[in-house]
Structure 1
Amino acid sequence: MLSTLRIRHIGVIDDAMLEFGPGFTALTGETGAGKTMIVTGLTMLLGGRLDRGRTRESSTVDGTLALSGHDELAASLDELGADEEDGEVLVVRRVTRDGRSRAQIGGVPVPIGTLAGLVGTAVTVHGQSDQQRLRDLDAQRVALDRFATTEIGPLLEHHRAIWRERSALTERLTDLDDLLAERDRRGTVLREALERIELADPQPGEDDALRAELERLGNAEELRSTATQAALALVGDDDGPAAGALLDVAGEAAGRGARTDATLAPLVERLDAVRIELSDVAAELTRYAEDIDASPGRLDEANQRLHELTVLVRDLGTMLPGTDGPAADITALLETSRGAAIDLDRYEGAEQERATAAARLETVQTELDQTAESLTSARTAAAAELSEAVQEELRHLEMPDAAIRVDVSPQTHRSHGRDAVAILLAPHPGAEHLPVGQAASGGELSRVMLALEVALSSSRHDRSAAPVFVFDEIDAGIGGRAALAVGQRLARLARHAQVIVVTHLPQVAAHAGTHLQIVKSSTDGATSSTVENLDRSARIRELARMLAGDDASDVALAHAEELLEDARVVVGGDRPTGGDRVVSGERG
């Protein structure tokens, strides 16, 4: 429900606040008072453009939208991060004179398209040039599905579930076909490559280790000599002193001193530790010198193994998956070979999986066709019922000669079925049925729209999720009984939705539960307007003005009171009509 609307700096309106009732709200006022600006403000909340001629320095519209029952809208706003207070969200649209536009929902800036998409799920504006629901075929199909939601809803949900499964299966089959083609193209190559790697049995880093070993073997004699020389320098031989012998001398001397002064004892221990460490180093150097293998056989063996690994990297480095270029070494080759093994595992089960998926797709396609046929049957039956219901409403709206028809015709299979729905109208006997947006005049189009909405509302049982309908000049070109009928049908629609109507006809305004009057006045050359929520006596005066152009005529007042009372009886009981306080003041 739209709770409030504040309009600033649009046309003759400087600052206006409107509070709407939950059912039928009528907006009336003299020509030029600013009624059209109210509808303009509402369309701005739906992303509509603002004529520069109606824009001041900055034009702003604020709307408070109650979210009760609109679960999808509430979820979308929650995902957006919009703030709400007491179940209501503030929608703001601002347009500057140079054409720049800004929008916010619950304090979150959003693109205009997002604004239109979100608010448009709850608010629908019907003007003589804005009957999109009667022109858009997808919208007409959605309307038919909503009309018979009990019969069509489960079928449609089932069809969409099957459609999603079929799409997933089709996509998976494409992937499997690509995989099998890849298997035919690369499977043998990958298998042979992995067999070569397995036969060679390389180890990570083995090629680098071989290069280091070859470097050592190539300098074996020099390395043996230097290691032996170093060991002799530590432990010595019969030809000269060595570090070990000097350490022995130092240890004996420090030991003698320690017997006199215990302070030297720790140093003696350290000298012993150094002597032991020196002996260990000398032993390792000796073993190193003895272990160096300078045999030509080992050198040839290492060279041959390195060559084998180098050829393996060269031949297979660009064949395996996961490489942007040739593998740098054996470690990189082993890493990429794991990807090849994974691919071969995928290839192994692809053929069987494809056969299973293809069989399931055939079953799903059959089920999808059957569900689509059931949907077509349900829609065809619902179309007849909707045609009849709208036809009855048109009779009440003084269009008894108009013939409405809802056609269900085949189209390309889509997620919602294979049905195209079109609402056709023959405005008078003998006329050809044409799309309703083409066949009806402005006034007729508005009444057809009203008839459709009333017929659709009869299938809506959850009032909390009711949409907001705004009708602009729905009474254009009609009067008398037709005007009275329009007022009655609007009141009936308001049982299932919030209805806001801009009207010039007292027969329509009399059926409203809330009556707002837009009043324009001039003082000292300045134009100001007020929007008043009328009580019963004020409503009678306003209806009298609309009837006779004079709110003081006793005859007009009596007629207005009678009209208001008759409307109350037709609608079915007393309804709150609001107070007499001024809702807002506007300065122009």
Structure 2
Amino acid sequence: MLSTLRIRQIGVIDDAMLEFGPGFTALTGETGAGKTMIVTGLTMLLGDRLDRGRTRGSSTVDGTLALAGHEELSTSLDELGAEEDDGEVLVVRRVTRDGRSRAQIGGVPVPIGTLARLVGTAVTVHGQADQQRLRDLDAQREALDRFADAEIGPLLTRHREIWRERTTLTERIAELDVLLSERDRRGTALREALERIEATDPEAGEDDALRTELERLGNAEELRGAATQAALALIGDDDGPAAGSLLDVASESLGRAARTDTTLTPLVERLDAARIELSDVSAELTRYAEDIDASPGRLDEANERLHELTVLVRDLGALLPGSDGPAEDVTALLETSRGAAVDLDRFEGAEQERATAAARLEAVQGELEETADALTAARRAAAERLAAAVQEELRHLEMPDAALRVDVSERAHRSHGRDAVAILLAPHPGAEPLPVAQAASGGELSRVMLALEVALASSRSDRTAAPVFVFDEIDAGIGGRAALAVGQRLAQLARHAQVIVVTHLPQVAAHAGTHLQIVKSSTDGATSSTVETLQRPGRIRELARMLAGDDASDLALAHAEELLDEASTAPAGRTSPRRSVG
């Protein structure tokens, strides 16, 4: 239920607060008073754009929605982290003159699309342009499904589940076909490549290590000479002094001095450490010189192994490309070979998986056909009941001779079944039934839409919150007895939903439980509007104005009071008592 609506700086409305009743609320006012701005404000809560010409600085709409019974909306708000206040949530939409738009639900900023989706689960706005939805066959099918939700809903849910499974299986089989085709094209080559890699048994980085070794082996004589000379310089031989001998002299000399002055002891220890380190370096240099060509055949072995690895990378690098292209060294080749092994594993299981998926697809197709048949049967049975219910409503709406039919025909199979639903209307005896949007005049189309909504609302058996319907001049193009009938059926609809109606007909407004008047005033050449909740005397004056254009005429006032009293005792009744606000 929509509890309140506050509109600021939209068109002629500076700041207006509307409090809606739980049943039927009527909005009336003089031409140009701003009735359209009220509907504009409501549609802004549903994500619609605001005409820049109606924006004054920063235009804002605040709406309070009662959440009781709106399970889908409540769940979505919990996921958003939106705040509630005593079971209600505040929805805010703000649009600036430069076109920037902001929205919040329960204090949480949300995209406009999210605002439209969430609020749209609770509020439906019907304007004159919205009657064109009766031209949409999908909308007509959805209306039929809502009407017979108890019978159609489970079948439709099951059909969509099977449809999704069929789609998933079909897509998977297509993927497996590609995989099997790739197996036939690449599988043998991949297997042979992996066997060759396994036989060669390379190690990551082995080719780079071999190149380093070959560089060293190719310069063995020079390297051995340098190592030998360095070792001699450190340790020396019988022909001359060396660094080691000089360190021995320095250590022995400083050691004698340290016995006299102990402050020299740390230096002696450092010299001893240097002698040991020098000795170790010399020993390693000697071993390096002795080992560098210890294996005369090693150069040939290293060259042969490097050639073997180079050929392996050249032959297989393009066959087993990685994410960055063909492998260029052994390390990259080993990395891509792991991906090739995974591909081979997928190839091995693809054939069996495809056979299993194909068998399941065949079974699913049979289930889908059976469910579609049941869905068609349920829709055809419901179509007869919906046609009868809408036609009965049309009788109450002063269209007693109209004949309405709901046809269910076959079309291409889709997720909702293979049914096309069309509402056909013959507005008078002898007329050919045509699609309702073609057969009905503007006023008739309004009444057909209202009859459909009343029939749908009357069929609701769930315990979720009643929807909110907003009608913008649904009574356009009608008058007299038809207008009175529209008011009665709106009151009937308000038994099952909250109904908010913008109207210019007193016969409609008289049936409302809550009556709001948009009041226009002018100050210093500027026009602005506010909203007042009318008590009974105020309602009588407003109805008199709507009847005769004069709220002071005794005759008009008497007629207005009579109209109000008759509406209160009309057969359709009222869902809530009239609010009497002083």
Deviation digits for residues 277-326 of structure 1 (CA, Å, limit 9, x no counterpart): 22222222222122122655222121111111111111111110315334
The corresponding residue for 2:449 is 449
Specify the alignment match of 2:543 in structure 1: 543
> Is the 1:24–1:499 contact (alpha carbons within 8 Å) kept by the matching residues of 2?
yes
**Aligned position for 1:585:** none
- For 1:226 and 1:273, locate their aligned partners in 2 and report how far apart those are by CA, in whole Å: 25
Structure 2 residue aligned with 1:407: 407
Number of the residue aligned with 2:578? 577
Instruction: Say if 1:552 and 1:271 are closer, same or farther in 2 by CA, change over 3 A.
Output: closer
Aligned partners of 1:67 and 1:73 also within 8 Å: no
Could you say which residue in structure 2 is the equivalent of 1:88? 89
- The number of residue pairs the alignment matches comes to 578
Q: Which region of structure 1 is more displaced relative to structure 2, 482-491 or 360-369?
A: 482-491
Q: Would the alpha carbon gap of residues 411 and 93 (structure 1) be closer, same or farther in structure 2, given more than 3 Å must change?
A: farther
State the alpha-carbon separation in 1 of the partners of residues 79 and 539 from structure 2. Answer: 44
**Change in CA separation of 1:275 and 1:562 when aligned onto 2, cut-off 3 Å:** same
Q: Partner of 1:102 in structure 2? A: 101
Aligned-pair CA distance for 1:253: 2.8
Change (3 A) 1:549 1:302: closer
Relative to the length of structure 1, the TM-score reads 0.89
Query: Does the CA-based 8 Å contact 1:475-1:505 persist in structure 2?
Result: yes
Alignment of 1:452-467 (within 5 A): 452-461=452-461, 465-467=465-467
Larger deviation, residues 247-256 vs 312-321: 247-256
Aligned counterparts of 2:252 and 2:36: Cα–Cα separation in 1: 117
- Note if 1:437 corresponds to 2:448: no
Query: Counterpart of 2:166?
Result: 166
Q: Is the 8 A contact 1:127 1:446 kept in 2?
A: no
**Contact conserved, 2:3 with 2:66, CA < 8 A, in 1?**
no
Q: Which structure 2 residues correspond to residues 313-352 of structure 1 after superposition, within 5 A?
A: 313-352=313-352
DSSP-derived class of the 1:428 partner: coil
Report the 3-state secondary structure (helix = DSSP H, G, I; strand = E; otherwise coil) of the residue aligned with 2:125. strand
In the alignment, the residues of structure 1 paired with residue 387 and residue 326 of structure 2 have an alpha-carbon distance, to the nearest angstrom, of 72
Deviations 1:162-213 (A, max 9, x none): 1111111111111111111111111111111111111111111111221122
Structure 1 residues 374-383 or 482-491, which shifts more?
482-491
Label 1:538 to 1:568 Cα distance change in 2 as closer, same or farther (>3 A): same
Tell whether the 8 Å contact from 1:102 to 1:109 is kept in structure 2 after alignment: no
Give 1:127's aligned residue: 127
Q: Describe the superposition over 1:30-73 as per-residue Cα deviations: whole angstroms up to 9, x where unpaired.
A: 44444344334444544556677x63655835140405144444
Single out whichever of 451-460 and 5-14 deviates more from structure 2: 5-14
Query: Which residue identity lines up with residue 386 of structure 2 in the other structure?
Result: L
* Secondary structure of residue in 2 paired with 1:4: strand
Aligned to 1:473: 473
Cα gap change, 1:91 to 1:424, in 2 (>3 Å)? farther
Map Cα deviations across residues 216-245 of structure 1 (whole Å, 9 max, x no partner): 222222222222222222222222222333
Please tell me the residue identity of whatever aligns with 1:417: G
Deviations 1:244-299 (A, max 9, x none): 33333333333333444444444433333332322222222222122122655222
User: In the alignment, which residue of structure 2 is the partner of 1:228?
Assistant: 228
Q: List alignment gaps of at least 5 residues for structure 1.
A: 582-588
Conserved in 2, the CA contact under 8 Å of 1:217 and 1:294? Answer: no
1:212–1:475 Cα change, 3 Å: closer
* 1:468-507 alignment runs, 5 A limit: 468-507=468-507
- Partners of 2:309 and 2:528 in 1: how far apart? 94
SS state at 1:16 partner: strand
Query: SS in structure 1 opposite 2:3?
Result: strand
Compute the RMSD of aligned alpha carbons. 3.0
**SS of equivalent to 1:471:** strand
Change (3 A) 1:16 1:245: closer
- CA distance in structure 1 between the aligned counterparts of 2:528 and 2:323, rounded to whole angstroms: 77
| Residues 1:495 and 1:228: Cα distance change in structure 2 (over 3 Å) | same
The equivalences for 1:149-298 within 5 A come to 149-293=149-293, 296-298=296-298
Does the 8 A contact of 1:321 with 1:340 survive in 2? no
How far apart are residue 392 of structure 1 and its match? 1.0
DSSP 3-state at the match of 1:357: helix
Partners of 2:47 and 2:574 in 1: CA distance: 38
Aligned residue for 1:3, secondary structure, equals strand
Residue of structure 2 in register with 1:55 after alignment: 54
Equivalent residue letter for 1:425 = L
- Does the C-alpha gap of structure 1 residues 577 and 95 become closer, same or farther in structure 2, counting only changes over 3 Å? farther
Instruction: Give per-residue Cα distances to partners, 1:88-118, cap 9 Å, x unaligned.
Output: 233425374x8x4635344777776665555
Query: CA–CA distance in 2 between the matches of 1:85 and 1:525?
Result: 41
Distance 1:530 1:295 in 2: 105
Deviations 1:481-531 (A, max 9, x none): 433322221111112211112233333222111011233455776655443
Q: Residue type matched to 1:541 in 2?
A: R
